[in-house]
Amino acid sequence: MTLEQFTQIGQQARAELDGIRGADALEAYRVKYLGRKGLVTGMLSMIGNLPAEQKKDGGQIANRIKNEITQAFEDAKSRLEAVREKNAPVVDVTLPGIEVRQGKSHIITQTISDLLEIFGRMGFDIAYGPEIEDEWHNFIALNIPPEHPARDPGDNFYIDESMLLRSQTSTIQIRVMEKQKPPIRVVAPGRVYRPDTVDATHMFMFHQLEALVVDEGVSMVDLKSSINQFIHTFFGADTQWRFRPSFFPFTEPSCEVDILWVDKSGRRNWMEIGGCGMVDPNVFDAVGIDSEKYTGWAFGFGIERLAMKKYGITDIRLLFENDLRFLKQF
């Protein structure tokens, strides 16, 4: 390379820089001339190939061209940035800020938290259990014999011959009593699964809150007073409710709990929110608790129905459709 070629590279670089208008083109120009293998940078490495009498002049010319092109590049870069800032949208800092949309707990999660808080103040511990259960915990230990209609494959989500999605949170009662001896005082929230036909009050997956109390001298009076305290705390002191005789294999005697429902038209209806009763001695025998010494009561409430009653929701399907217009109300 000769000194004339050094000069030509400098002239070429200056001329090409004048025609650049965009940031991408400017970056390509930098790589071409000032990059590690660029033409201007390469002149410095070629000085050693010049004749001895030209090396001094070659070094001065190469460094001068490199400094000039580098400065010209920086000036062009500053001009492009200034134009971009000038054309950028103006932000009026005096305008109100844009509200940041914040997520919050789903209405079912809120209801579960409220329920656990109430029963926590009543002295209950919290227990959880698996959603995939065996027949022992879901049926046998709960005094549900093989011929009972509740075990019909058409009324359960069986996974194989002995495993199924739990159909009730009563399974957690069994697991608690297997590991813990009286006194026992627990509530157990969770999802349950039944192949029900979906309508305004039924879903094939829903949530239950189970409660269990086992100790010496426990009676129906304790059960009724606990439910009464819960209902009046959760729904309000003027809420009307009732016991209605019923039958469950794992409790004897058994009752269903109804809440008075007044719809928008003013009609009064009773809505079932769950079942309850005194723990059947056969259940105690299955888990190794002395049924002669201990008694207990249990209930299972549908959490969706509790939420529907409290917040005036008329269709359970609204709780699962994820419509923000509905969810924002809670």
pLDDT value, residue 9: 77
> Which of 301, 316, 306 has the alpha carbon at shortest distance from 170?
301
Give me the pLDDT at residue 92, please.
Answer: 77
- Per domain, the residue ranges of the chain are 3-87, 107-327
Please enumerate in sequence order all residues whose Cβ is within 8 A of that of 19, keeping only pairs 6 or more positions apart, or say none: none
CB contact at 8 A, 146 and 140: no
Enter the tokens of residue 153: 């494959």
Provide the edge-to-edge strand list for the sheet that holds 295-302.
Answer: 125-126, 184-193, 205-215, 295-302, 268-279, 251-262, 241-248
Q: Would you say 252 and 235 are in contact if contact means Cβ atoms under 8 Å apart?
A: no
User: What is the C-alpha separation between 169 and 149, in angstroms, rounded?
Assistant: 18
Q: How many CB atoms lie within 10 A of CB 25?
A: 15
Mean pLDDT by 10-residue block, N- to C-terminus, for the chain (330 residues)? 72 79 79 78 73 74 80 82 75 82 90 96 96 95 90 91 93 95 96 93 93 96 95 92 93 93 77 92 96 95 91 91 89
pLDDT score of 61: 77
Please tell me the predicted confidence (pLDDT) of residue 312.
Answer: 86
Q: In this predicted structure, what is the pLDDT of residue 218?
A: 95
- Residues β-bridged to residue 209: 189, 301
Two tokens, residue 122: 């009543």
pLDDT for the residue numbered 79: 81
Of the candidates 3, 115, 105, which has an alpha carbon nearest to the alpha carbon of residue 54? Answer: 3
pLDDT for the residue 70? 84
pLDDT of res. 3 = 67
Q: How far is CA 231 from the centre of its chain?
A: 28
CATH class of 107-327: alpha beta
Task: Provide Rg for the chain, Cα atoms.
Answer: 39
Q: How far is CA 100 from CA 56, 97, 103, 323, in A?
A: 65, 9, 10, 19
Entry pTM: 0.68
State the residue for tokens 């930098």. 30
pLDDT (0 to 100) of residue 234: 94
What proportions of the chain, in percent to the nearest 5, are helix, strand and coil?
Answer: 45, 20, 30
